[in-house]
Amino acid sequence: MPISGSSSVQAARRVLADRLREMCKDSGLDGKSMAAACGWHPSKVSRISTAKTSPSADDIRAWCRACGKQDETDDLIASLRAVEGMWVEWRRMERSGLRRAQAAVLPLFERTRRFRAYSAWFVPGLLQTHGYTEDVLRAVQQRRVTIDDVADAVAVRMERQRVLYEGQRCFAFLVEESVLWNGLGSAETQAEQLEHLLDISALPNVSLGIVPTRLGRARMPVEGFWVFDTAQVNVELVSGHLTITQPSEVAMYADTFATLAGMAVHGQKARALISKAIAAFV
């Protein structure tokens, strides 16, 4: 699996490696005897047991067989799959098209009650208009997806926006001021999107903050992220999609959101910045 620098992914990989190493020790095997039993070079055992290399499912089967612990195979493979699921390359997530990737996150949105989202580049998906979404997903499709199911993917994202109006949910969105001025589409599409932001910001369960462009910032822009309640953070990176569930790291993103929110303007001041940008596009 691709190696991510996230402490969540690394911690989960170390837990799995520790379990395998302890199993080896409990079975009275050392690295050389484990390697011989599995038909591997001893360095492979060392890399797996120190979390420098992620094992495959076949590696785990061989490891359990050598230890006489075949009954633990399924549980360990399940742990491996959980680690792999934390970090997913875009090409793997989107290999069957964009619609499936959009639909896959709907259950997460439906069970979340408190949303926090920050973006330095785009209007967050729940706030996007149809035209803006189409431009964003078309650019993604042209850059990295061979299947053209953009129309279906746009429809799924639009349907997902119902969570804004259903149930007892609250939303806090932060965007950098540059998001108001940068867009993939036409001036008309951007102006329509900004008008929509004004409408959404009036909802009682929505807080919209704009982080002004200025010198002397306390915190520079960071990667875009979503915080779902206090249980999970999703981060979109250039190379892939990261899911964070480790409480200490979730707290780091929550703290970062709070810092950025303290730098942002809200209410009438935010609407004034949006209106200023609209005026430049019409």
CATH number of the domain to which 274 belongs: 3.30.870.10
Task: Give me the number of domains the chain comprises.
Answer: 2
Q: How confident is the model at residue 14 (pLDDT cuts 50, 70, 90)?
A: confident
Q: Do residue 80 and residue 142 come from a single domain?
A: no
Q: How confident is the model over 61-71, as pLDDT tens digits?
A: 999 999 999 99
Q: Do residue 264 and residue 224 come from a single domain?
A: yes
Take residue 55 and report the two structure tokens written for it: 């094992």
Q: Do residue 111 and residue 17 come from a single domain?
A: no
The reply to whether 169 falls in a domain is yes
Q: Which range marks the domain in which residue 13 is found? A: 7-87
End-to-end Cα, the chain, rounded Å: 48
Q: Do residue 73 and residue 122 come from a single domain?
A: no
Model pLDDT, residue 10: 74
Domain boundary among 37, 60, 87: 87
CATH number of the domain enclosing 54: 1.10.260.40
Q: Do residue 68 and residue 102 come from a single domain?
A: no
Q: Do residue 102 and residue 63 come from a single domain?
A: no
Q: Residue 228: enclosing H or E segment and its boundaries?
A: strand 225-228
Q: Do residue 171 and residue 194 come from a single domain?
A: yes
Model pLDDT, residue 150: 96
The reply to whether 1 falls in a domain is no
Q: How confident is the model at residue 1 (pLDDT cuts 50, 70, 90)?
A: very low
Measure the CA–CA gap between 207 and 114, rounded to whole angstroms: 11
The reply to whether 252 falls in a domain is yes
CB contact at 8 A, 179 and 259: no
Q: Do residue 105 and residue 234 come from a single domain?
A: yes
Model pLDDT, residue 29: 94
Domain boundary among 87, 107, 133: 87
- Mean per-residue pLDDT for 7-22? 81
Q: Do residue 146 and residue 181 come from a single domain?
A: yes
- pLDDT beyond 80 at 82: no
Write the CA distances from 86 to 52, 92, 272, integer angstroms. Answer: 17, 13, 39
The reply to whether 276 falls in a domain is yes
Model pLDDT, residue 12: 74
The reply to whether 2 falls in a domain is no
Model pLDDT, residue 4: 47
**74 or 7: whose pLDDT is higher?**
74
Q: How confident is the model at residue 24 (pLDDT cuts 50, 70, 90)?
A: very high
The mean pLDDT of the chain is: 91
Q: Do residue 41 and residue 56 come from a single domain?
A: yes
Q: How confident is the model over 114-158, as pLDDT tens digits?
A: 999 999 999 999 999 999 999 999 999 998 899 999 999 999 999
Low-confidence winner among 3-17, 80-94, 150-164, 212-226 (lowest mean pLDDT): 3-17
Q: How confident is the model over 234-265, as pLDDT tens digits?
A: 998 877 788 888 788 889 999 999 999 999 99
Q: Do residue 71 and residue 176 come from a single domain?
A: no
Q: Do residue 172 and residue 276 come from a single domain?
A: yes
The reply to whether 52 falls in a domain is yes
Beta sheet of 114-119, edge-to-edge order: 87-89, 240-244, 232-236, 225-228, 114-119, 170-176, 206-211
Nearest 5°: the CA angle 56, 233, 7 is 50
Domain boundary among 87, 109, 143: 87
User: What percentage of the chain carries pLDDT values higher than 90?
Assistant: 74
Give pTM, 2 decimals: 0.77
